Structure 1
């Protein structure tokens, strides 16, 4: 469905966005893979760092199901910010230059204040989601948080109602966050713009490409699920792959 957001022009000076075909997400992944193979060392370093952080979080929640929703959601919300350096790798390659991991980190900080501001917003979303999750746990677990219960038991069987309600609420939150961040983070890495402008641009790009972005979001979910299914080992490759691909999504949809 085509959505018109001309009202945004009354409040924000936004760059023009383009409509792209529904086949583009696969192309973005192919181009992202080419970039990953072009400079595997720096790219996989980012993947390794994200995987290590994920392992740390999983070790904290392994026997505490009531913390799982909070920490893992926070991880998924904030980890895309770590891809700012990956965007620099791709940007440099587009301009015919190669760069190192440390240089990409340095370059990613050129608009650090606005990236940090977006991080604060996402952090507040994560905190709000933690409160919602805590309320759902209290209501659906009968007021008793099952500390020490293995994760698989905490989300199945008699607690399946919680999983369904929590999943539905999480899906709505994910759609909201995706709409505002789909291209905003690479835009902040690429241009000297403020985070609000970047988020509004992302909202417009998603709204003008509903079907394409739905496919793109589904691919992100599938690949991330594969990463978690491999106990995060797959994220070593999947995280930088998605980072490089997201850069191309941004460049195609935002003039």
Structure 2
């Protein structure tokens, strides 16, 4: 159990002494989880990769560049929800529990209280909101450039470059906001019997108490996912499971020992 500085948030003590070494340890543990149970990681990653390929080819074939760019940029927003099954794999491996597809897939339902599904709805709404904002930014600069929406030459114009700059800044702000509310909340909803509001509060407190390290983690995730998406999303087949498992171990470092049965019963009474 972590013996460093902690802040009490609801029923959870959040560590405030995260170090960069903890990120390396989480990645190593995530890699070990993936190697131990690769089928689960490849399954969830394949769903994500298939969805990415479908969006890419559907929009590219239709020449809908105005939708393709924001869709590709915002697609990683959905990664935390896809990783819920990976959190359950890591949780069960850590606790020495048996693995089964029924148990792993059942994690997507949460603890029967739809809290994880509520978080999923938030993420999908966020993705849709980002698409609308990004498309609006694209339309503004496209009108200024005078080029067609089907022309890749637009991105070489002054307006196209400015669009990418403005879109990147707006996208980074939105991505950071949703990263802050999900980095610890989704693993917590898999691990503990809490409502999603409490989980979000804990996630925000974790970022506030460990700003530098968790921002470094956010940058690492963003850069790694971007690189993994370049070869037709295929790099995500390995990167996504490792990052998903690693996020679980980072959550565990933040919150200490797993909830016991007594703790879970107490938390259920508070919910």
The interval holding the TM-score normalised by the smaller chain is: 0.7 to 0.9
Task: Give how far 1:196 is off.
Answer: 1.0
Superposed counterparts of 1:192-207, under 5 Å = 192-207=193-208
Change (3 A) 1:207 1:141: same
Pick the structure with greater CA Rg.
Answer: 2
- Give 3-state SS (helix, strand or coil) of 1:233's partner: coil
Give, in whole Å, the separation in 2 of the partners of 1:81 and 1:210.
22
Task: Give how far 1:155 is off.
Answer: 3.3
Task: Give how far 1:217 is off.
Answer: 1.0
Unaligned runs of 5+ residues in structure 2 are: 1-6, 257-271
Task: Give how far 1:110 is off.
Answer: 3.1
Q: Does 1:226 align with 2:224?
A: no
Bigger RCO of structures 1 and 2 (CA < 8 A, at least 6 apart) = 1
Aligned to 2:10: 13
Q: Does 1:81 align with 2:114?
A: no
Task: Give how far 1:247 is off.
Answer: 0.3
Give, in whole Å, the separation in 2 of the partners of 1:145 and 1:128.
26
Alignment TM-score, normalising by the size of structure 1: 0.88
Cα RMSD (Å) = 2.1
Give, in whole Å, the separation in 2 of the partners of 1:155 and 1:195.
40
* 1:23/1:212 contact within 8 Å kept: no
Unaligned runs of 5+ residues in structure 1 are: 1-5
CA offsets per residue over residues 4-61 of structure 1, 9 Å max, x none?
Answer: xx9xx8xx73512002112211111110000000111121111112111111111122
Give, in whole Å, the separation in 1 of the partners of 2:147 and 2:182.
33
Aligned to 1:36: 34
Give, in whole Å, the separation in 1 of the partners of 2:110 and 2:211.
31
Give, in whole Å, the separation in 1 of the partners of 2:48 and 2:154.
26
Change (3 A) 1:192 1:156: farther
CA offsets per residue over residues 153-189 of structure 1, 9 Å max, x none?
Answer: 4434331110001111111111111111111111111
Alignment TM-score, normalising by the size of structure 2: 0.83
* 1:227/1:233 contact within 8 Å kept: yes
* 2:224/2:239 contact within 8 Å kept: yes
Give, in whole Å, the separation in 2 of the partners of 1:242 and 1:231.
19
* 2:147/2:154 contact within 8 Å kept: no
Aligned to 2:131: 130
Superposed counterparts of 1:1-255, under 5 Å = 13-19=10-16, 20-62=18-60, 63-111=63-111, 113-142=114-143, 146-150=148-152, 153-158=153-158, 159-255=160-256
Change (3 A) 1:107 1:120: closer
Give, in whole Å, the separation in 2 of the partners of 1:28 and 1:156.
40
- Give 3-state SS (helix, strand or coil) of 1:155's partner: helix
Task: Give how far 1:74 is off.
Answer: 4.7
Change (3 A) 1:145 1:120: farther
CA offsets per residue over residues 52-108 of structure 1, 9 Å max, x none?
Answer: 111111112223211024433453222321111111111111112341334310234
